[in-house]
Amino acid sequence: MEGTPANEQIASPRRAPSQQRSRERVERMLAAASALITEQGSDAMRMGEVAERAGVSIGSLYQFFPDKRAIIWALAERYTAESQACISAALKDVGDAEGLRRAFSELVDIYYGLFLAEPVMRDIWSGTQADQALRQLELADSRANAEFLVAVLRRLRPGADPVSLETTAFLVWQMGEAAMRLAISVERQEGDRLVAAYKRMALRELLDG
């Protein structure tokens, strides 16, 4: 299947609020949905429950989120934006191999910790695999994150083939997402070992490839 370019905007299935009051109302809706997902999972979450907990009418909820999928999408977009900002900040000043080793390892540890601590993120991440549009959003996110990594690799290996660097960076991110899914699905000690093994493998490819 052909991937979605990182710079291509993927249309959100929800209406964006334009006024401050509407934005505040949407924030309450998303906070309510996040709490319900934490408590019972996205499959069990109902639109009526979201509206009740957010203190809004069901009509107001549907005005911005036509269905449950639109809420999941909005939460996924939020986590995607936050992750890209975090990765960009961590990698932008990396100029040597040791800096890359340290920054990459820290990013992996941060993500692993977040997914252990945040049921909402785990639920959304699992849900992307069953939703084609959300999967495209995830792929676009991986390509954008790979571009941050490619910028570092070009500084460290200026003579390397740029296509090869792009392929390596994209594959490293995709493997990382698979490794995280596996790590949070097993016992903690085994998960820790899997994450440590992924970091060793990825860094070996990034630094010596």
Under DSSP, the state recorded for 13 is: S
Residues sharing a CB contact under 8 Å with residue 203, sequence separation 6 or more, in sequence order? 100, 101, 104, 105
pLDDT at 17 (0 to 100)? 57
Do the beta carbons of residue 124 and residue 72 sit within 8 Å? yes
- Single pTM value for the model: 0.76
73: left (phi > 0), else alpha (psi -120 to 50), else beta?
A: alpha
Count of CB atoms within 10 A of residue 63's CB? 16
pLDDT at 12 (0 to 100)? 56
pLDDT at 21 (0 to 100)? 79
* Percentages of the chain per state (helix, strand, coil), in multiples of 5: 75, 0, 25
Cα torsion 90, 182, 69, 44 to 10°: value is -130
d(CA 118, CA 115): 5
Count of CB atoms within 10 A of residue 67's CB? 12
pLDDT at 15 (0 to 100)? 57
Q: Which residues of the chain have pLDDT under 70?
A: 1-19, 126-130, 209
pLDDT at 128 (0 to 100)? 64
